[in-house]
A and B are shown apart, each in its own frame.
Chain A
């Protein structure tokens, strides 16, 4: 395990994905992360069954993916004795995180102003859906809803599609990453100043940052809304041939490539006449329509054998099944086994290598309240 954050204690009051994905990364870096959970139910994500796949104990697979390498301490924050124990923990923590809606921590008495009185050096990180003020502040910070509000759904898919959400929880994961950045930066500063800090991100601001390149284009091009390509849309702002194409037996992704050169290589005369690079964007749909017909004629492997040696940026399109059989994937050693409640579960590891080492840990997600006794003893709660 990485020792970058050795001796850093993180209390994580957050649920679902945004906050917990931030603390997962801190745990990967070597911090000790204690989830503070509601007795009886815990993090709601424990019961969020994804698809029809559950583990033996009835808990969801995604909970285990997100919460490996953490401890669990249950406390009813509405009950004074439990709250007092939590305050003692807060007094000893370096970082605390939450993703409650605005106002909840104030009601409990664990908002930054109050916590600062207990522990002036704490780094207090919070994730909201839409920021701490304004008309949207009390709305649920849910991934799909944030994708919808942020304009993001008009960037994926093709022109004839309705707005297409990204099929992975991008808002949660990106906001969690930004929170991690802010918390770590504040922690670094604390080693000089001795002072704590409040770090805030919102899922909406995080998705706006995610779109910063194309949103900046929109803000300076006379406010022209993005137009997705009519053919095999892959990026609203990028010229032909950029996209994923069907072949005789599967799919082929082609990134940026000079169109006439592509025509030569594929033996497609019709593409060779697009000699003006400017046309590759303005006439991308007609170019891509021609390309689409051509690529249907042969298999993915046949096309790769033509294009790769010519340095055209292209790739096969993998399913998970294809990917896990690929030597390139196996060499990455992205998989790890963790143990939770005596059960072994396979998941992925932290994606970053530190000093050439993979950051793995066998510690799986904690059972609800699994560490209560030990933590109570250790911190005299």
Chain B
């Protein structure tokens, strides 16, 4: 299948997640993504493992984020390597880096210098907090940005400590926004021949993520307060939340209280008119919670389905993978490491013309593609 980004060359001077997850998406959409790595050390993410899972000298985590890419080893302090890099840049369409501000400039690979070599380049800089100001040299680490951006106060219930979101969401969103803007900038290159500088930060990405909250805050001047009971979204009224049942948990989304009560048949809930759904949400949610404990999830789900109410079971991955609703998505793919070894990961989440996009190509070893790339550069 011809992929939409076929023919696009991306140079990834990035480490860990924000830049590399952008590179991965561009690769899955058809771009040729070349990681530029230090010849001895390689990308720092190679040494970062979770659950102590290793594929080779690099972690499974690294292999997950960097499949479907090539690697060109180059020491940015070595003039010969830099000459090769400049040749490579002259053919490249996109550069992504997530070094701290100033690092690429000192190596002679800042936007102005690169633009001289390749005027049509889409040059993407990802930082933690923007490129100026008091946070400029603070580590752009996800938990820290979550904490500073107010995000930790959106999750968990009121009265509890702030609860961070349990994934690297700043890195992930920033990388994904970079992908959108890189492709939009490539459209501009195709129309006008002119390149673009893109600047993103984890902080701005996480503020954008909370745009509904911020806009509400700007009007009311009151910070959105998490529900004190089973909070799921500080802005929403009862019954919105996750509830325990006699066996497991169910998620109950937005719906009129008395519509919910048609499924629940809970006498205590009858006392609450819809106007109370926000102002008395904790009280109402406690009434609902006590009632839901009396029957199994299955019982409530059947009743909800009959009434077309927005209620679903809370599943863990094991339960999710056993459902036909999951398998029909065909979301998993195998990556071939060598003759005997493979691992399973997820695929690109976008379908084009009805087809899923899979690629079984593994992540490269450091410098694995140097020779081929040098030959092609002549």
Contacts and interface: CB of A to CB of B under 8 A. Distances in A.
A299 B329 CA distance: 50
A246 B161 contact: yes
Contacts of A163: 242, 249, 314
A328 interface: yes
B170 to A, nearest CB: 11
Given A139-B312, A142-B253, A346-B215, A323 B130 contact: no
A351 B200 contact: yes
A235 interface: yes
Interface in A318-335: 318-323, 326-328, 331-332, 334-335
A177 B53 CA distance: 30
Given A244-B164, A313-B141, A212 B346 contact: yes
Interface in B220-273: 220, 223-224, 226, 230-237, 240-242, 244, 249-254
B147 A62 contact: no
B172 to A, nearest CB: 6
A80 interface: no
A317 B147 contact: yes
A91 to B, nearest CB: 21
B313 interface: yes
Interface stretch (B71-79, B96-104, B176-184): B176-184
A162 B232 contact: no
A43 interface: no
B154 A168 contact: yes
Contact of A255 (B17, B144, B214, B324): B144
B369 to A, nearest CB: 23
B139 A352 contact: no
Interface stretch (B32-40, B58-66, B81-89, B370-378): B58-66
B216 A53 contact: yes
A376 B128 CA distance: 46
Interface string B17-45: 10000000100011000000000000000
Given A197-B353, A213-B65, A353-B198, A149 B220 contact: no
B196 interface: yes
Contact of B139 (A64, A218, A313): A313
Determine which residue in B51, B181, B241 has the highest number of CB atoms from chain A within 10 A of its CB, and name it. Answer: B181
Contacts of A313: 139, 141, 143-144
A66 B235 CA distance: 15
Interface in A97-126: none
A164 B320 contact: no
A51 interface: yes
A316 B51 contact: no
A197 B3 CA distance: 11
Contact of A351 (B144, B204, B223, B328): B204
Contact of B344 (A61, A136, A188, A219): A219
A213 B175 CA distance: 14
A229 B313 CA distance: 23
Interface string B321-343: 00111111101100000000001
A210 B172 contact: yes
Contacts of A200: 350-352, 354
B213 A212 contact: no
B56 interface: no
A334 B219 contact: no
Interface string A200-226: 111011101111111111111101111
Given A153-B242, A219-B344, A236-B166, A4 B196 contact: yes
Determine which residue in B169, B218, B324 has the highest number of CB atoms from chain A within 10 A of its CB, and name it. Answer: B218
The interface residues of chain B, by DSSP majority, are classed as mixed
Contacts of B252: 144
Contacts of A202: 329, 349
Determine which residue in A131, A156, A200, A352 has the highest number of CB atoms from chain B within 10 A of its CB, and name it. Answer: A352
Determine which residue in A143, A147, A148 has the highest number of CB atoms from chain B within 10 A of its CB, and name it. Answer: A148
B155 A164 contact: yes
Contacts of A148: 242, 249-251, 312-315
A348 B208 contact: yes
B310 interface: yes
Contact of B156 (A6, A65, A157, A169): A157
Interface residues of A, number: 140
B235 A321 contact: no
Given A148-B242, A148-B314, A156-B155, A186 B4 contact: yes
B290 interface: no
Interface string B94-134: 00000000000000000000000000000000000110111
Nearest to A124: B353
A41 interface: no
A145 B312 contact: yes
B149 A144 contact: no
A156 B51 contact: no
A278 B354 CA distance: 45
A194 B350 CA distance: 21
B150 A323 contact: yes
A327 B132 CA distance: 11
Contacts of B219: 53, 55, 61, 345-346
B165 A213 contact: no
B345 interface: yes
B57 interface: no
A369 interface: no
Contact of B196 (A131, A244, A354): A354
A178 interface: yes
A180 B290 CA distance: 42
Interface string A137-174: 00110111101111101111100011111111110011
Contact of B187 (A4, A149, A157): A4
A254 to B, nearest CB: 8
B366 interface: no
Contact of A331 (B132, B164, B209, B327): B132
A297 interface: no
Contacts of B211: 65-66, 347-348
Nearest to A223: B318
Contacts of B11: none
A255 B162 contact: no
Give me the 9 closest cross-chain CB pairs, A-B, nearest first.
A134-B328, A148-B251, A136-B325, A155-B166, A167-B154, A50-B235, A351-B204, A253-B147, A65-B215
Interface of A: 3-6, 17, 25, 29, 50-53, 55, 61-62, 64-66, 130-131, 133-136, 139-140, 142-145, 147-151, 153-157, 161-170, 173-174, 177-182, 184-189, 191-193, 197-202, 204-206, 208-221, 223-226, 228, 232-238, 242-244, 246, 251, 253, 255-256, 278, 281, 313-323, 326-328, 331-332, 334-335, 345-348, 350-356
